[in-house]
Every structure is written in C-alpha cells, then in structure tokens.
Structure 1
Amino acid sequence: MILYGSSLSPFVRKTLAFATEKGMELELQQAGMGGGPPEFKLASPFGKMPGFKDGDFLLCDSTAIITYLEALQPEPNLIPLEPKARARAIWYEEFADTILIAAAGTMFFNRIVAPKFLGRPGDEAAAAKAETETLPPILDYLENVLPESGWLVEDRITLADIAVASVFVNLSHLQWKPNAERHPRATAYIQKVLARPSYAKWVEAEKAMFAA
C-alpha cells in the first residue's frame, strides 16, 4: 500500500502513525505542492495530501484512508466499537483536523512553509495572533477533557490521540512548547504520545529535513 504526500502534513503523518499502531506498512511516496507521480493525481484529484493506493484502489483524505485501514485490519482496534466512545473518537479527530489545525497551521505555514518552501515571508502577525490568542483556549479545552489515564477515549490509545498528537509535531518544529504550569496534563499527554515509536521516527526524520 502506498501513501502519497509529505509527513510534514499532519494529515499524512496521522495516517502513517495510525498504520504503524496497527502493525501495517505504508510506503510513503513524496507528493503534493504541485508534485508527485500520476497516481497521486488520480487518487487525489484536487491535489490534497494524502493520496492512497492499494492495488487498483485509489483514495484520498486521511479520514477516509484511516477508515479503510481499520476495516481492512480490525485489530488492534483503534476506532472504538462502543457507540459513545466511537463518537468521541471521531469528534477528537475532527477537533484536531479543523480546530487545532486552524491555530497550529497558521503558525506553521507562516513561520516555516512560506519562508522555507515557498521563498516568501510569512505573515508573522497572523502567526503571533494564532499563538497568543487562538491556541491557548484550545489547550485549555484539551487540559480539561483529558482523563486521569492520559488517553482521550477508553483509557488507551485510539484514533483520537493519534489525530491530536499529529498537529503538535508541527508545533514542535517551531520550537513551541506548551505552558506546563497552565497545561500540565496536556503537556504530559503530548510528550507521551509523541514518544511512541509510531511518531518518534517521523519526528526525527522531519527534524533532519530542517537541519539540512
């Protein structure tokens, strides 16, 4: 199975980590930003990362791909079966993909993507506003909903944690760290999930990109 995109995308990275947690292997082929093999454009007609290929089956969108992987290999179960837990896991993925990424993505785009990959200055005012005004209340929410177990759903790692953690990798590349005094539970949570092998290898590989 082939995943098209860059692990710098939280959506691509989320899909890679999800597959790793399930013991599945995905071959990552670089694509996006106007590039990539013809299969990527067939899989993702609007050029959004990630694209996916399994034999003659082509698909795009991280949530759709993850749904396929979960159905293909149900165990270990990462999308809960119990109705309320399942709904909460899907909510946290949506929270990561829309609300959390709105703040983190603004910071990452303007401080890394624009200057490093597009060759133009980013909007620092927008990035600073996202960091100081948009992000803290989101972290307040995360701090308040995290159970004592340190996992968002069913006291174990699920899609919820995989999705939320992926966005924090992008923030880590900005040398951003949560305020451990204001958000102690969220701080420990982020560190715990990102230390898992499913994320650690991508975090290190991406750090090497910035060091090059």
Structure 2
Amino acid sequence: MIVYGGTLSPFVRKTLAAAAEKGIEVESKPTRFGQPDPEFDAVSPFRKIPALRDGDFTVCDSSAIIHYFEATKPEPALIPAEARERAMVIWFDEFADTIMVAAAGPMFFNRVVAPLLKMQGDEEAAKKGEKALEPVLDYLESLAPEPGEFLVGGKLSLADIAVASPFANLRHLQFDLSRWPRTMAWSEAMLARPSFAAMVARESKMFGR
C-alpha cells in the first residue's frame, strides 16, 4: 500500500499513525505543493491528501482510508462495534477534521507553511484562527483523559489518533498550551507513542528543532 501526502498535513499524519497502530505496512510518498505529479494525480484527481493506492484500488480522504484499513485488518480495532462508542469515535474524528483543523489550519499555513514555500503569510488570518481555536481547546480540556488514557471506551481508537494529530502542528508552531494543562499532557502522551513519535521528530527537523 502507498499513502500519498506529506506528514505536515494532520490528515496524512493521522492516516500513517492509524496504519502503524494497526500494524499495516504502508509506503509513505510525500507530494509537493503545486508541483505536477502524474502518479499522484492518477490516484487523487482533485489532489486531495492523503490518497491511498492498494494494488488497483485507490481512494482519497483520511477517514475513508482508515475505514478501509479497519475493514481489511479488523484487529486491533480502532473503530469500536458498540453503538455509542462507535458514534463517539466518529464524532471525534469529524471534530478533529472539520473543527479543530479548520481553526488551527490558518495559523499553521500562514506562520509555518507559507514561509517554507517562500510566500507571504496572512497574519490576520492566523490571529483569527488562534481565536477560533480557544473554544475548541476549552472543549477538549473538559473531556481530556489522563495521559496514557483514551477518549472513548478506555481503549485507543481513531478518536485519539484523529484528535492528537493536529497537536503536532501546534507543537511546530510552538503554540502555548499551558492554559489547557490536561489537554497538553494528554496530547503529549499521544504524540510520544511510537506511531507518532518518529514521524513528528522528522517533521521537527525541518524547523531546526
């Protein structure tokens, strides 16, 4: 299996961490912003990342790929069977993708990605993202488990992986999480897991850290 997309994307990072937690071997192929790549374009016609190729099967979107992982290798399960737990895992995955990343994304793009691409960042957009992120972190602080524990059902799930992934981008931003100590401790414990740690360390080297 090949997963296309750079790991600075929280969606790509989430997908690769899920594969690692399930013991699925994948090849990670980064893509370059704005640069033609016929192989990637054939897999992802709209250039959405991550994209997956497994033989003659292709699919895009992190959640779709992880559901594919879950169906092809059911154990260890990242999406529980019990109805309420499954609903909560799906909620946290959606929350991370569409609420948390939407808030943090403008900060990361304008303060980190744009300079890497030698583009002028929009600091006003970054500040709006920072303001939008505060209630998101307040919500997580009200729910955050102890470090090493998990969001749903007392077991590691897609909920933990999806929510933890954007915290690597906040680390790269050197965003101060001290106002949300439970969230900070839990997210640091998640990013220390083998499924995340080496990947995030490689990313950090891009910023000389």
Band the TM-score falls in, shorter-chain normalisation: over 0.9
Given candidates 183, 197, 201, the residue that maps to 1:200 is: 197
In structure 2, what is the equivalent of residue 75 of structure 1? 75
Answer yes or no: is the 8 Å Cα contact 1:34–1:47 preserved in 2. Answer: no
Given candidates 124, 135, 144, the residue that maps to 1:146 is: 144
Give CA deviations for 1:139-166 in whole Å, capped at 9, x if unaligned: 1100112345741101121100100111
Change (3 A) 1:36 1:151: farther
* CA distance in structure 1 between the aligned counterparts of 2:164 and 2:132, rounded to whole angstroms: 18
Q: TM-score scaled by structure 1? A: 0.93
In structure 2, what is the equivalent of residue 6 of structure 1? 6
**What is the identity percentage for the equivalent residue pairs of Structure 1 and Structure 2?**
56
1:7 aligned counterpart, secondary structure: coil
Query: Residues 65-144 of structure 1 correspond to what in structure 2 (within 5 A)?
Result: 65-117=65-117, 119-131=118-130, 133-144=131-142
Give CA deviations for 1:47-75 in whole Å, capped at 9, x if unaligned: 01111111111111111110000100000
Q: What amino acid is the match of 1:5? A: G
1:59 aligned counterpart, secondary structure: strand
* CA distance in structure 2 between the aligned counterparts of 1:37 and 1:46, rounded to whole angstroms: 12
* CA distance in structure 1 between the aligned counterparts of 2:87 and 2:106, rounded to whole angstroms: 28
Give CA deviations for 1:148-195 in whole Å, capped at 9, x if unaligned: 57411011211001001111111111111312xx32211111111001
Answer yes or no: is the 8 Å Cα contact 2:145–2:186 preserved in 1. Answer: no
Answer yes or no: is the 8 Å Cα contact 1:32–1:47 preserved in 2. Answer: no
> What's the CA shift for 1:129?
2.7
1:28 aligned counterpart, secondary structure: strand
Across the two proteins, how many residue pairs are aligned to each other? 208
Answer yes or no: is the 8 Å Cα contact 2:89–2:157 preserved in 1. Answer: yes
* CA distance in structure 1 between the aligned counterparts of 2:145 and 2:112, rounded to whole angstroms: 33
* CA distance in structure 2 between the aligned counterparts of 1:138 and 1:80, rounded to whole angstroms: 24
Q: What amino acid is the match of 1:141? A: Y
In structure 2, what is the equivalent of residue 188 of structure 1? 185
2:169 aligned counterpart, secondary structure: helix
In structure 1, what is the equivalent of residue 173 of structure 2? 174
In structure 2, what is the equivalent of residue 52 of structure 1? 52
Query: Residues 35-46 of structure 1 correspond to what in structure 2 (within 5 A)?
Result: 35=35, 37-46=37-46
* CA distance in structure 1 between the aligned counterparts of 2:71 and 2:187, rounded to whole angstroms: 27
Q: TM-score scaled by structure 2? A: 0.94
* CA distance in structure 2 between the aligned counterparts of 1:15 and 1:36, rounded to whole angstroms: 23
Answer yes or no: is the 8 Å Cα contact 2:107–2:127 preserved in 1. Answer: yes
Q: What amino acid is the match of 1:136? A: E
* CA distance in structure 2 between the aligned counterparts of 1:147 and 1:201, rounded to whole angstroms: 23
* CA distance in structure 2 between the aligned counterparts of 1:140 and 1:170, rounded to whole angstroms: 18
Give CA deviations for 1:107-155 in whole Å, capped at 9, x if unaligned: 00000111211x2211112212322x21111111001123457411011
* Alignment root-mean-square deviation, CA: 1.6
* CA distance in structure 2 between the aligned counterparts of 1:125 and 1:37, rounded to whole angstroms: 32
Q: What amino acid is the match of 2:132? A: T
Structure 1, unaligned runs of 5 or more: none
